[in-house]
Structure 1
Amino acid sequence: MKVLLVFPPQWTPFRPYLSLPSLYAYLKDKGVDVIQKDFNLEAYDLILSEGYLSGISQQLRNQFSVWELKDRLAPGTEQKQYNDLFMAKTLAPLLAGKIESAKNVYRDPQKFYDPEILADARNTITQALQAVSLAYFPTNIGLSSFEMPSFKGSFQDLKQATQNRLENPYIQLGEEYLLPLVRDEAPGVIGITISGESQLIPALTMARLLKAGNKKAHIVIGGYVVTMLADVIVKYPELFDIFFDSAVVNDGELPLLELIRSVEKGGSLFNVPNLIFRDAAGIHVTDKKPPEDINALPPPNFDGLALEKYLSPEPVLPVLSSRGCYWSRCAFCTHSLAYGMTYQVRDPVKFVDDIEFLVKKHGVKHIALSDEGTSPNSVNRIADEILRRGLDVRCSTSIRPERQFTPELCRKMAAAGFREVYIGIESSCDRVLGLINKGTTTAVNEEVLRNMCQAGIWDHVYIMFGFPGETMAEARRTFSFIAQNKDIIRSLGISNFSVGRNSRVMKNPGDYGVTLPRSTEDTDFKLYLPYLVSGGLTDIQGWELTAECLATVATQLAGDAFLEKIGHHYDKACILPQYLSHYEKTDPLLASIVKMKKPARKKTPKKLSAASMPALKPGVVMERLHFNLRAVWENIQNKRAEPVYPDESWSLFDIERNRFKRISDSGAEMLSGWNGKRPISAIARDLARKYRLPLREVERECLDMAQSLIDEGYALALP
């Protein structure tokens, strides 16, 4: 029997996610006929394509024409929608022609390492995703996110979201590209991994399509999100009618293998551990078993994945040196629950065997340790083994700040190829760290950051605002800590506190001064819950501090300012390791390239004559609009609560520079003759004859207007 493993949208497209290669390797090792499909990567490649963007152009034009018929635009959402739709429908044809080149920049071993070229490519991709989002408004699609505002978290919302063609692009993509694959392969079991909240709706959309179109296949879901929602899944029998046949919680290797064997033989699912399933008698939860010994597992297997298609000039392969978290006590964290609150460390020799195997098989140099937190002891032994073998690799990992990360250990890590570490310090107030149960102090945090930096290792620091009980003064202390230590903090990941499902705060809210809403079905499928606090910062204040820190303190960090241009949030971590490796001999901490090139000095425009032949610049369009786009744009920028009424006029829109200029009807008529082939004298002659005006006067007006638009950068003149 054939087994198909699917990794669904919406995740980052920069490198493979580890869940499928790990399961695939294990099942292969057990003799299972299995294939793996990164449909997340394929969906990005399809959406970010010339054909797809050209296809949504008409859709965007149709949507915009509806707004043009309105008799007013209310302040806020309506004006923003009008503005954004205009830009998207105008941009889409241009983006369609640029999108393949933009993707290829990420895959090009020369262009990728030019930050100016990469920043431009990223901007094209971001704009393309914004255009697609507007075609499915109010859905928002990013390089690491997927949000459907109509999905509030209830089961009813879930059913509607997974069949809403107007807001969910994955219905069409699944029908056109995933279902044909399944029909061709005819698997007996289809496994879908749901690793992040951004995948929930896309994954269950895929599952719904697959279950409806493949009555003979057993569909099983698993992954972090499924484990978090285990107590919710048992409440809804209809899930098993619409979306899937069973769900695996915690580590998936052994349960999935036993499930495949049971389905193949037509046996009882009660013998499958860690499984939720439904039969005629109802929903059942089978006994839990501990995970497979991490040292008995094979290295991850990436066969069947198109490594060359990821947005990276060279593959970065994820691996695990441990499963779970050795600390596992932070009050806000839920990650260890995905591993059944167990912690296992792979023998360092075996782990470096994995690295060496992958390096030789795939010709890779970059390895990303996907551990929840690699302990100082593990890092020390791994570094020793890498150095003993003389392996030429570049590694990144996440660590918890511990005093054991001494200057000596940090230097050894650097010598072994560790170029980047992700460190969660959360706060720079010892009292708040105590509330979190972080088990560290500000002094230890600073010591570890300094040791890493002095060893030449880039530290990406995570902080969090608004943990229950934190005061404004304590949050400001974290601001000061960052500013005072900008010489040892390279870049930041900033977030505000949220109550994660199954976290210690959720389970014991009273211990943290937190009040949760009365349990209802309205938010059953949300991983993060609304809350109130009895003291300290509110949820809204936490959000505001996060935004303020990103806009102020973070910009003081040279590395962060640079990374914001070429990456954002999750994609920073996926882009930075290659940059650090590429420039390690000439610029180990990217000190010089963080200074982005200054824009070229503007050339002084040539004075026009009647023989000059004007034309609008490429990327500048002229359109007659029902509403004054300038007024709409200014209301949005200045947050004015003023409606906009019809005021039909012509506007110029500079796509590349995102700016507008309103022009008169007579000016628009002049511009209609600008094609770069006719001189101003000819354009003026035609207008003078048409309106019986003095030629000299019309010619002067044409010259003045052309000179003004060229000076402002909207037009150019051909010799």
Structure 2
Amino acid sequence: MSGRRTPDVTLVFPPQWSPFQPALALPSLRAWLERAGHSVRVIDANIAFYEWLLSDDCVARLRGALDAASASTRDAYETFLGAAAAFRETILRVRRWQALKTLRTERLETYVAETYMSSRALDTYLHYVSHIAGGFKLSPYNFSIPGNSLRVADIESFLAHPPPLLMAFVALEVDRILEDRPRFVGLSCIGQEQLLFTLLFAKRLRERTSAPIIVGGTIFSRIFERGRLPAQWFRYVDVFVRNEGELPLEGILGLDPLDLGAGIARVPGVIYLKDGVPTSTAPAAPLKPDAIPVPDFDELPLESYLVGEITLPILASRGCYWGKCEFCHHGMVYGEKYSASSLDGIVAALDELEAKYGITSFAFNDEAVPPKVFRGLSSLLAQNRPRHFDFTGLLKFENYFQSEDFRNAREAGFRSLYIGLESASERVLDLMQKRSTSAVMVRNLADATAADIWTHCFVFFGFPGETEADAEETVSFLMSNSGIIGSFGAGTFSLEHNAPIMRRLAEFGVSVREAHADSIDVYYDYDVDRGIGPKRAIRWMEQLNEQSDGIPSYRAINWIPREHLLGLLSAGTVADLKRISIGCVDEGDAPLAMPLSTFTIDRKSAGHGRIVMNMLNGRTFALKGPLDVAFASVREAEAHLGDIEGAWPDLLTALRSGSGERASHQEDTRPI
């Protein structure tokens, strides 16, 4: 046991989640509970997972997995495993910019290029890990098992026989969680991508400790709402917390961990097993933002996130000020209530976080920053320099906004805004209860762009009642307004349990397909009796993505993870980032700024010559004769591709195109 005080609770954020930014849930809970007098330890097991995936220990275990495979399979992945250290160097190189803030503007092109290479190399690395380990598919944004099944039987099978690589990490992390013998252990599951890992952690913890295990976050609460929370999962979990966790967790920590059942029914907002049936207590009262202390990020390894600029999440409000959209059920977290922080409270929190952590970049994670808060905060900060912050946040189109609001926002530090456009058809927007107009959308976008603020628009196809003409209107809007839209993300409509539209399915002509009896999916398969159905919606999404690929500014930005964008914009203008990013993407998987060290080498296959792997796409090929000799000489000199453009044009062509002789035994390793 370590020398630290035994925690009342150890809070854990399990994989799989983005490795680019800390989540807000646990720092907020920690601040609340410690103010109430409880000792709290926080562990970000997600970023620990990424650190471990890049470690020698993980690579050794992957080698062990190959030992049991056929000779041809082993051969196919040996180049990757031999290059693991080089992958690690390329992926982690982006972190160095955290300590080079004063040089980012001066060296913007290098900063963008290294962020690009780090992101691409990480994608390739995770692809190979997934294929070698088997049994799962992992990316920075997703974790799934074969078939993407959400049936209880398949999940139970996964828990009974998890991939050995994952269990090796879970076992190590559970040892860390229990080293201080906490009275309670809490797991935060805020996304469906974390569900399987959360259950794996809970199962392993149950085997190792008698401490009660509590699971919070929205996913299990939504499963319970649908009536599909399996009673057998209480073998691993003592209590599930519904929605906001502050008051329920405070109530739980006041109970005797050895006799939890004696008082759990008096704790608000929890789900427990009563007579073999999952049962919920009444919800806790929603909290006001100004009643909540500033989040405490003390125990999070802020230097470990895979970004060049750390961004901390923050809230200016709880709930959604609009709260009318037919497709959205996000407000359930806050009991469908809304309240905003005071401007003084927001500024005080920003100042405290900057003073404590030396961080000036913040992401407002509100459902949408309230218009009056956006205007007031922007004006206040713009007028009170020399504060220097960089912000991003979500916004709704509003006639309320004037051009001055966006100019003040840019002066205050807003570099990017994420906006729910959803559809460009006013008829569909009225069906959604979004109530935006084309004129307001264009004006808001133009004003933000004129103020040098990046705008990202979310759109989706297939909202019930949408016609082909409506979908075409959305495509045309995005294609014709690329000058005032920085980027967009396209998807298709999802019919979520308890979303407002569920109360009016007949009115929208929606019929729900019967789900499998043991499915825990909180989204329904459905059909519509008019307009665009699910399959046609997918085709419209694909058509938009295909058409937008012809617009350089859209094509250039697709690679940038959302959590990287603010850091990149803090170092340059929107025009700078577009220009440099277009260069990266147009140069493909081997931009001229790419160090030759990003091509890993393997000399063991002498019959093939020098086998080279491009870490940005995982493609392997062989260099022979003069190309082999030339590559050896320039790689040792730590050159970049651009350095060999004049002296070694044939080598440059071979490396950029991957057109050297293919290493035939490597064919199956190229990522899809």
Given that 2:555 and 2:582 are in contact with CA atoms closer than 8 Å, whether structure 1 keeps it comes out as no
Q: One-letter code of the match for 1:434?
A: D
Given candidates 35, 44, 48, the residue that maps to 1:38 is 44
8 Å contact from structure 1 (residues 53, 96) kept in 2: no
Change (3 A) 1:431 1:554: farther
In the TM superposition, 1:51-450 aligns within 5 A as: 51-60=57-66, 62-63=68-69, 65=71, 88-108=77-97, 109=100, 114-150=111-147, 152-166=149-163, 169-176=165-172, 178-215=173-210, 217-232=211-226, 236-241=230-235, 243-263=236-256, 266=259, 267-279=262-274, 282-390=277-385, 391-450=387-446
Displacement after TM superposition at 1:96 (Å) = 3.7
Structure 2 residue identity aligned to 1:255: P
One-letter code aligned to 2:445: L
**How is 1:576-587 mapped onto 2 (pairs within 5 angstroms)?**
576-584=565-573
Partners of 1:516 and 1:530 within 8 A in 2: yes
User: Are residues 551 and 59 of structure 1, via their aligned partners in 2, closer, same or farther at CA, if it must alter by over 3 Å?
Assistant: farther
Aligned to 2:506: 510
What amino acid does structure 2 have at the position aligned with 1:5? L
Give the superposition deviation at 1:153.
1.6
- CA offset digits 1:429-483 (Å, max 9, x no partner): 1111122221212222112111111111110111111222222232122111111
Higher relative contact order (Cα pairs below 8 Å, separated by 6+ residues): 2
Q: Report the CA distance shift for 1:466/1:306 in structure 2 as closer, same or farther (over 3 A).
A: same
Whether 1:454 aligns to 2:450 is yes
The 2-side partners of 1:421 and 1:713 are apart by: 43
Of stretches 346-355 and 504-513 in structure 1, the one that deviates more from structure 2 is: 504-513
Contact 1:491 1:557 in 2 (8 A): no
Looking at structure 2, the residues matched to 101 and 575 of structure 1 have their Cα atoms a distance apart, in angstroms, of 16
Matched residue SS, 1:495: strand
CA shift at 1:535, angstroms? 2.2
Q: Deviations over 1:610-645 (max 9, x none)?
A: xxxxxxx96367869xxxxxxxxxxxxxxxxxxxxx
**Residue 557 of structure 1: CA displacement?**
4.9
CA displacement 1:79-128 (0-9 Å, x = unmatched): xxx8xx97544323223433134213244335885322322222221111
Q: Please tell me whether the aligned partners of residues 364 and 392 of structure 2 are also in contact (alpha carbons under 8 angstroms).
A: yes
Amino acid at match of 2:92: K
Deviation at 1:257, TM superposition (A): 0.2
Q: Tell me the alpha carbon deviations over residues 229-277 of structure 1, each in whole angstroms, 9 at most, x when there is no partner.
A: 1235675321111x20011112110111011102359551111001111
Say if 2:622 and 2:660, in contact at 8 Å, map to a contact too: no
- Corresponding residue number in structure 1 for 2:533: 538
For the residue of structure 2 that corresponds to 1:470, the secondary structure is coil
TM-superposition CA deviations, 1:546-577 (whole Å, max 9, x none): 2332232155151x323224x2xxx2x20111
Pick closer, same or farther for the CA change 1:592–1:187 going to 2, 3 Å.
Answer: same
2:595 is the alignment partner of 1:619: no
Distance 2:409 2:306 in 1: 27
**8 Å CA contact 1:88, 1:130 repeated in 2:** no
Seen in structure 2, the aligned counterparts of structure 1 residues 58 and 347 have a Cα distance that, compared at 3 Å, is same
1:645-684 matched pairs, under 5 angstroms? 654-656=612-614
Amino acid at match of 1:404: Y
Correspondence list, 1:549-588, <5 A: 549-558=544-553, 560-565=554-559, 567=560, 571=561, 573-584=562-573
Alignment-mate amino acid for residue 258 of structure 1: G
Distance 2:231 2:111 in 1: 53
Quick one: distance in 2 between partners of 1:709 and 1:542? 41
- 1:23 and 1:316 map into 2 onto residues whose CA distance is 19
Paired residue type of 2:256: V
For 2:380 and 2:306, the matched residues in 1 are separated by 31
**SS of alignment partner, residue 518 of structure 2:** helix
What is the alpha-carbon distance in structure 2 between the residues aligned to residue 555 and residue 340 of structure 1?
Answer: 44
Task: Tell me which of 477, 497, 501 is aligned to 1:501.
Answer: 497
Distance 2:266 2:550 in 1: 56
Please state whether the residue corresponding to 2:160 is helix, strand or coil.
coil
The one-letter amino acid paired with 2:248 is: P
Question: 114-123 vs 338-347, which deviates more?
Answer: 114-123
Shift of 1:170: 3.0
Residue 14 of structure 1 and its aligned partner are, at CA, apart by 0.9
CA distance in 2, matches of 1:660, 1:98: 14
Matching residue within 510, 518, 525 for 1:522: 518
- Distance in 1 separating the partners of 2:621 and 2:44: 45
Q: Which residue of 2 aligns with 1:696?
A: none
TM-score when normalising by structure 1: 0.78
Report if the CA contact (8 A) 1:89-1:131 is conserved: no
Contact map agreement 2:365 2:393 (CA 8 A) in 1: yes
- What's the offset of the Cα at 1:519? 4.8
Q: Give the 3 Å change call, closer, same or farther, for CA 618–479 of structure 1 in structure 2.
A: same
Amino acid at match of 1:594: S
What's the CA shift string for 1:275-319, capped at 9, x where partnerless? Answer: 111245754321223122221110111011000111122321111
- Segments of structure 2 that go 5 or more residues without pairing to the other structure are 1-6, 591-598, 631-650, 663-672
SS at match of 1:445: helix
Distance 1:307 1:652, change over 3 A: closer
Partner of 2:634: none
SS in 2 for 1:408: helix
Q: Distance between the aligned counterparts of 1:105 and 1:519, measured in 2? A: 44
Partner amino acid for 1:228?
Answer: R
Q: Does 1:593 align with 2:580?
A: yes
Q: 1:19 aligns with which of 20, 25, 28?
A: 25
1:40 Cα deviation after fit: 0.5
SS in structure 2 opposite 1:250? coil
CA contact (8 A) 1:227 1:338 kept: no
Q: Distance in 2 between matches of 1:310 and 1:343?
A: 31
Q: Which residue of structure 1 aligns with residue 474 of structure 2?
A: 478
- Show structure 1 runs of 5+ residues with no match: 69-81, 603-616, 625-648, 664-670, 678-705
In 1, are the aligned partners of 2:11 and 2:43 still within 8 Å (CA)? yes
Note if contact 2:87-2:125 (Cα within 8 Å) is conserved in structure 1.
no
Residues 548, 650 of structure 1: CA spacing in aligned structure 2 closer, same or farther, 3 A cutoff?
A: farther
Counterparts in 2 of 1:56 and 1:404: CA distance versus 1, 3 Å: same
Which stretch shows the higher mean deviation, 428-437 or 90-99? Answer: 90-99
Q: Report the Cα offset of residue 661 of structure 1.
A: 7.6
Q: Is the 1:230–1:249 contact (alpha carbons within 8 Å) kept by the matching residues of 2?
A: no
Whether the 8 Å contact between 2:609 and 2:628 is mirrored in structure 1 is no
Question: Residues 53 and 128 of structure 1 are in contact (CA less than 8 Å); yes or no, is this contact kept in structure 2?
Answer: no
Q: Is the 8 A contact 2:426 2:438 kept in 1?
A: yes
Q: In structure 1, the residue corresponding to 2:580 is in which secondary structure?
A: coil
Q: Structure 2 counterpart of 1:27, which letter?
A: L
